[in-house]
Amino acid sequence: MNGLNGADDRSAEDEHQRFARYLHELAAVRDEDEADLVTRILRDSDTTMAQSAIVRHLDRHAAQLLTDEGFTAWARAMAEISAEREFLARRLREWTLLRSITAGEPWGSEEVTTGSDWFQRKAVETLSSPAVLTLLAEAGRTRRVRADASRRLRQRHHRDSLDPQVLTIPHYEDIRLAELMPSSRDFFDHTMQRVRELGGTATAHAEEHQGALKVFVESHAPLLGPDNSSVC
């Protein structure tokens, strides 16, 4: 039962069942069928439930496409479908603003400071722009946003103040921090000790990126752990 073709199908399920089914169908929909599926879900008589399902889908797909060149066309298509649903239309506008900032495109301070609580939390969480973080640290809508933005700025300043240190090991790869660091204290000391135990010859790169350290190579021989398995 696809549940999207009429009231008879919908009456056989309560809103919780339909919501779960919509999420499943949205997660599996092909790109060429997405617009039709979103349109049909928004025709559900339970508008609150339908919008909740669609906004989850928009959040998931927008995050996936945020740095992809296909974002603009996708957002435009979704905006046309949801133009009469202000909540969805605003969420798409705010994702588009996040995309613009991420891509280094022009953006306005007022757009950021008047953004929803959701937008400002997402901006602090996902963006690295010092200008945006400074703006939100000073003029964020909530104490939480201001505090989190200030913390992100301090972390960024600390990373920028570190002298770059290059890890010289026999293999070029991203090494997971968990492989190198037995505890969160004395980051570089622990990392340096672990690298040397595994056959490395120097210290760690100063910047952590997405849970990994970028390392630089001198040859193509793999770095082996104590059990002779490759660490990378």
Distance of CA 232 to the CA centre of its chain: 24
User: Do 215 and 205 contact (CB within 8 A), yes or no?
Assistant: yes
**Cα–Cα distance between 150 and 156 in angstroms, integer?**
10
> Would you state the pLDDT for residue 159?
59
Number of helices (H), then strands (E), in the chain: 12, 5
At a CB cut-off of 8 Å and minimum separation 6, what does 48 contact? none
Angle between helices 31-41 and 71-81 (to 10 degrees): 20
Mapped onto helix, strand or coil, the DSSP state of residue 187 is: helix
> Would you state the pLDDT for residue 14?
87
pTM of the entire predicted model: 0.65
Which residues of the chain fall below pLDDT 70? Answer: 1-12, 157-232
Nearest alpha carbon to residue 212 among 180, 188, 176, 184: 176
The CA-atom distances, in angstroms, between 165 and each of 19, 155, 173, 231 are 51, 18, 16, 20
Nearest alpha carbon to residue 127 among 110, 112, 108, 143: 112
User: Do 190 and 183 contact (CB within 8 A), yes or no?
Assistant: yes
Element (H, E) at 23: helix 15-28
pLDDT in tens, 101-112: 999 999 999 999
> Would you state the pLDDT for residue 199?
56
Per-residue tokens: 11? 């009456």
**Cα–Cα distance between 171 and 139 in angstroms, integer?**
46
